[in-house]
C-alpha cells in the first residue's frame, strides 16, 4: 500500500477491494451456474406446455415397454418416455447406462426439437427400491446379508 496513507485508510481500501473481489466472484459463479440450471418435466407437463425448442431441460419418466429401437448406425437409440398420461419420443446417441432397460425410470437431459422429439445428450437410469447389483443377483437374501456384513 501507499506509505502516505494512514493505517485507518489502508484498512478501508483493503476492505473495499475485498468486497469488490467477493462480489465479482459471486457474479462469476452465478453466471457459470446459469447454464447448468435446467427445468424438470414429466411427459404430461411437456405435452401440455412444451419448452422452447433447444432449451436445456430434463425429462423424467418411465421407458415404455417395447419402444426401444436401435438405429442403423448402432449408436443412436429411440425410445418413448411416459408417465401414464402422456408419451414423449426420445432419441439418444451414446453409451447407455447399465441400469437402462424398458420399464425402468429414466431422466434424460437435453432439449426438445421442433418436431416434438426430445433429443437427449445424457441419460440417468433410475432403479427402484428392489434393485440388486449384478454381483448379488444369484445369491439368496441370506447370502446377500452375510456378504454385506463381511464388507463392513
pTM (predicted TM-score):
0.61
> What's the pLDDT at 97?
86
Q: Kindly indicate whether the domain formed by 39-126 is annotated with CATH number 2.40.50.140.
A: yes
- Over the stretch 62-120, which tens digit does the pLDDT of each residue have? 999 999 999 999 899 999 999 888 999 999 998 888 888 888 889 999 999 999 999 99
DSSP class per residue in 44-64: HHHHHSPPPTT--EEEEEEEP
- Min mean pLDDT across 47-51, 86-90, 94-98, 136-140 is at 136-140
Cell numbers for 100, please give them. 437402462
Where is pLDDT greater, at 85 or 34?
85
Amino acid at each position: 500500500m501507499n506509505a502516505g496513507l494512514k493505517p485507518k485508510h489502508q484498512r478501508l481500501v483493503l476492505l473495499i477491494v475485498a468486497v469488490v473481489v467477493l462480489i465479482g466472484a459471486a457474479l462469476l459463479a452465478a453466471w457459470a451456474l446459469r447454464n447448468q440450471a435446467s427445468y424438470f418435466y414429466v411427459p404430461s407437463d411437456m405435452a401440455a406446455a412444451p419448452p422452447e425448442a433447444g432449451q436445456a431441460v430434463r425429462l423424467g419418466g418411465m421407458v415404455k415397454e417395447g419402444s426401444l429401437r436401435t438405429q442403423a448406425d448402432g449408436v443412436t437409440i429411440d425410445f418413448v418416455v411416459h408417465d401414464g398420461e402422456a408419451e414423449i419420443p426420445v432419441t439418444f446417441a451414446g453409451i447407455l447406462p447399465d441400469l437402462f432397460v424398458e420399464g425402468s425410470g429414466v431422466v434424460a437431459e437435453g432439449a426438445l426439437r421442433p418436431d416434438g422429439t426430445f433429443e437427449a445428450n445424457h441419460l440417468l437410469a433410475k432403479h427402484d427400491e428392489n434393485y440388486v447389483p449384478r454381483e448379488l443377483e444369484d445369491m439368496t437374501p441370506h447370502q446377500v446379508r452375510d456378504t454385506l456384513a463381511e464388507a463392513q
